[in-house]
Copies of this chain bind each other. A is one copy, B any other.
């Protein structure tokens, strides 16, 4: 790998654009694959405001698909949504060379195996973004808070390239947590996300305050989180029981907040329901863990998202 590693960001939504900008600041040669925002970014680059300073940058190249990329990058950073209708493997394949390290910055549980099976000879870094970042217009992104990236090799361990990737991110200005048990970190994030995100959708795009304020709302959210913790434990990742109470207290202290899935729902965008909750349920079934509250949320969400006959009375 050269002094200035090449990076291709695939799925440059707000999160892809943000970490692309960080890697650009770290001296990488950052190109991007974009569909709907191709014109805007090809013309003007990304405009990214941040408390870290002006992160705006012009990518080394802007492509409409990975197939246009002439040489495989050192790092293929994937920020695609994990939703039905997006074939991540096909989207990635043209840009994966023998020495390409794949970095998945995506939400959900059990989202790596499909990629690991498709590219068995490539290093796979699984990453979780703790960042508040929004796309406000084509090519325009606002970074509001946080930025830490938590990652490690999938399914476990940390090697030199992964350490080097962490070095790049830190020199670009964000915190990192490099972990040799990244699946555990996925479960940790899932305890909140898997409970709050899908439930907020079924609750009509509800914010955190609304959800905790209905009678028994807090006990209900705790029941969802405890079921996720039980599945995580059966999957080999124990978390302390008090984690739920601590997490709920932190949520209480924050201002009312609509999570990304609630916003996706209210804006009619595809939801990462399977990555965030469906995969938890499937693991629960495989591991014989009873998850009635989660199953109810999951089934109601699919009923909600199903097409229905028009209302005629």
Which residues of chain A have a CB within 8 Å of any CB of chain B? 134, 199, 202-207, 209-211, 213-217, 220, 223, 256, 258, 263, 266, 292-293, 295-297, 299-300, 302-304, 306-309, 311, 313
Contacts and interface: CB of A to CB of B under 8 A. Distances in A.
B308 A205 contact: yes
Contacts of A223: 292, 295
Nearest to A204: B304
Nearest to A255: B309
B302 A199 contact: no
Given A202-B304, A205-B308, A210-B303, 18 more contacts: A134-B313, A203-B300, A206-B303, A206-B306, A207-B308, A210-B306, A210-B307, A214-B299, A214-B303, A216-B299, A217-B299, A220-B296, A223-B292, A258-B311, A263-B313, A266-B311, A292-B296, A293-B296
A6 to B, nearest CB: 34
Contacts of A306: 203, 206, 210, 213-214
Number of copies: 2
A206 B292 contact: no
Nearest to A221: B299
27 contacts: A199-B300, A199-B303, A202-B202, A203-B300, A203-B304, A204-B304, A205-B311, A206-B303, A206-B306, A207-B308, A207-B309, A210-B303, A210-B306, A210-B308, A216-B299, A217-B303, A220-B295, A223-B295, A256-B309, A258-B311, A258-B313, A263-B311, A266-B311, A292-B293, A293-B296, A296-B296, A296-B297
A-B pairs with lowest CB-CB distance, top 6: A203-B303, A296-B296, A292-B292, A220-B299, A204-B304, A214-B302
Contacts of A213: 306
Contacts of A302: 214-215, 217
Contacts of A211: 303
Contacts of A209: 309
Given A214-B303, A302-B214, A308 B220 contact: no
A216 B297 CA distance: 13
Contacts of A202: 202-203, 300, 304
